[in-house]
Amino acid sequence: MSNLLPLIKNECIKIIKRKRFYVILLVLLVLVPMFTYAQMKSAERSQEKFNSDWRLELQQRITDNENSLSSDRVPDEWKRYRQIFIQQMQYYLQHDVNPNQPNGVTFTREFMDNAISLFIPLLIMAIASDIVSGERTTGTIKMLLTRPVKRWKVLLSKLIALIMFTSLIVVSTIIIAYLISGLAFGYAGFELPVFTGFRIVGSEVDMSGVHAVSQWKYLLMQGGLVWFVGVSVGMLAFMVSVLVRSTAASIVIMMASLIAGTILTNMASAWSSAKYLFMVNLNLTGYLAGNLPPIEGMTLNFSLGVLALWAICAGIVSFSVFTRRDILN
């Protein structure tokens, strides 16, 4: 333990000095204003149409969804999704709570919902994919391994540094999204209630467990789930980074599998064994909002189990490969 801490320190400083973390912050600073602007435009449009009366807007959305239910061209899964959506929105209307009241916190909450399955994993990959293979590309790995430190300690220090930065990325995403969207929508909204605890049984929603939490608590829960996803994806990227020599190749591999995940979640509902793939299980915040899972039979615990299993396997593979492999060039 005594010589692990300096190693972690070394890794953290390397990540900072290589400016990877700054790049991530920069990406956020460029992209979040774009999302904010898009959100602002759509809010303006609905304001024109409904005189900023959210109840009318919500009721109109419910009716539009009901109309699409009667159409034969709509696939059954979409119908189920819409039926569930209708019931939830009616619940919000009954309790006179605006689910999309525009403010910085709501924006952040929605942003995190959308970012969890692709955007945040990509940001984490930017650090994770480089963390071992980068040393190979520059040749510094030899210097690292010739020091009188056990190899597993070197790798462990990298992993810990990665988890530390995963937390930093998640939190800075939340903070940046809040600060920037607050400029447009205002900084209030921490105490607004959000409903959670919808349980989906078939195409009905079980309302017995529904309860309101204030938005800051909801955001905290989201943060925790996003963090879990981040750590699991980080572990996988870490493994790829150990196995593959070049950083570019390891980024491509991880990116391809993540994007495959988003495509699969959109169309794989018929192929039920796809639920054992890690990339269709990334949308953990969906369970919080009570969305219909992409494949039938998926629950929070199932998704957590799948992700944890993949992450643990990735850890075992990376450690066993890294400690045994010869470092030649």
CB 61 → another protein: shortest distance, Å? Answer: 9
DSSP string across 167-213: HHHHHHHHHHHHHHHHHHH-S--TT-EEEE--EEETTEEE-TT-EEE
Q: Is 94 in the site for another protein (CB under 8 A)?
A: yes
Taking CB under 8 A as the criterion, the residue among 28, 254, 274, 288 binding another protein is 288
Q: Is 178 in the site for another protein (CB under 8 A)?
A: no
* Pick 134 or 290: Cβ nearer another protein: 290
Burial class of residue 164, CB neighbours in 10 A (0-12, 13-18, 19+): middle
Give the long-range contacts of residues 14-19, CB within 8 A, separation 24 or more. 15/127, 15/131, 15/161, 15/165, 18/130, 18/134
Q: Is 151 in the site for another protein (CB under 8 A)?
A: no
Instruction: Tell me whether strands 193-196 and 199-201 are parallel, antiparallel or unpaired.
Output: unpaired
Q: Is 156 in the site for another protein (CB under 8 A)?
A: no
* Pick 31 or 300: Cβ nearer another protein: 300
CB 3 → another protein: shortest distance, Å? Answer: 15
* C-alpha span between 178 and 192 (Å, rounded): 15
Using CA atoms, how far residue 217 sits from 5, 64, 172, 190, 213, in Å, is 33, 32, 17, 8, 6
CB 55 → another protein: shortest distance, Å? Answer: 5
Q: Is 312 in the site for another protein (CB under 8 A)?
A: no
Site for another protein in 23-52 (CB under 8 A): 50-51
For residue 306, which of 264, 276, 286, 268 has the smallest C-alpha distance? 276
Give the long-range contacts of residues 270-276, CB within 8 A, separation 24 or more. 271/295, 272/296, 272/297, 275/302, 275/306, 276/306
CB 138 → another protein: shortest distance, Å? Answer: 18
* C-alpha span between 124 and 122 (Å, rounded): 5
Q: Is 209 in the site for another protein (CB under 8 A)?
A: yes
Q: Which amino acid is at 38?
A: A
Q: Is 93 in the site for another protein (CB under 8 A)?
A: yes
Q: Is 3 in the site for another protein (CB under 8 A)?
A: no
Taking CB under 8 A as the criterion, the residue among 72, 76, 96, 326 binding another protein is 96
Q: Kindly state the number of chain residues that form the binding site for another protein, as judged by CB under 8 A.
A: 58
Q: Is 72 in the site for another protein (CB under 8 A)?
A: no
Site for another protein in 220-259 (CB under 8 A): 220-228
Q: Would you tell me which residues interact with another protein (CB under 8 A)?
A: 8-9, 12-13, 16-17, 50-51, 53, 55-56, 58-60, 62-63, 66-67, 70, 89-90, 93-96, 163-165, 167-168, 170-171, 196-197, 199, 207-213, 217, 220-228, 284, 287-288, 300-301, 304
